[in-house]
Amino acid sequence: MTQVDRYVVDWERIDTVLVDMDGTLLDLAFDNFFWLEVVPQRYASLQGLHIDAARRQLAPRFDAVVGTLSWYCLDHWTRSLGMDLKSLKREHREHIRFLPGAPEFLASVRRRGKRVSIVTNAHRDTFEVKAEHTGIDRLVDAVVCSHDFAAPKESAAFWQALERHAPFDASRTLLIEDSLAVLAAASAHGLQHTLAIRRPDSRLPARTIADYAAIDGVADLI
């Protein structure tokens, strides 16, 4: 499917909406700021390093686990880096914000009588901090964190576990997601309606996405 300027959902064909959190509902600018600025700065302070040296030490450790559950796991990084990352996220929570139109989009889906669930790779502790700050948990019918199934959304195991946990008709379910790897895993599981986000980080220009129908953000669906 080629990139389109505007995607129109045929709501008559949709019963369930699965929506990612970071980069789809919440601005990925926070996560990029946290991992690229806050964590290296705190690590440099703890280790007595210049921040550039800290970044050089951290980069291969991050790269080694990208796409695995460990990458999203605060427990893993707290042990590995010797920092209380939940508290660190809470210190910087003022940077957590919705992407444009996200609350309005969720309200519009529920008004249509569709079941809408957040499916996120975020650790439960991360979700707790973000829910406390935004109230995002009150805007949806359910929240599923991949840690609940011990498998990231990029894996077939996640989608199999999700279907056992909350059965859905793959032919009548829409997934909205910024990660192309997750969209690929969902499509392989049989989801027939997938939609990519071009601008997960509001500070950055829209990405070019060739393999999936795509929109700049969920505000385009209101």
pTM of the entire predicted model: 0.94
pLDDT tens, position by position, 50-109: 999 999 999 999 999 988 899 999 999 999 999 999 999 999 999 999 999 999 999 999
Q: How far is CA 66 from CA 49, 56, 87, 121, 186, in A?
A: 24, 16, 23, 12, 18
pLDDT value at 39 more than 60: yes
- Give the model confidence (pLDDT) of 148-198 as tens digits: 999 999 999 999 999 999 999 999 999 999 999 999 999 999 999 999 999
Q: Examine the pLDDT at 206 and tell me if it is beyond 90.
A: yes
pLDDT for 28 beyond 70: yes
Q: Give residue 1's pLDDT.
A: 37
Q: Considering only CA atoms, give the Rg of the chain.
A: 18
pLDDT at 7: 72
Closest by CA to 213, choosing from 2, 17, 19, 11, is 2
pLDDT at residue 67 in the model: 84
Is 120:24 a contact under the CB 8 Å cutoff?
no
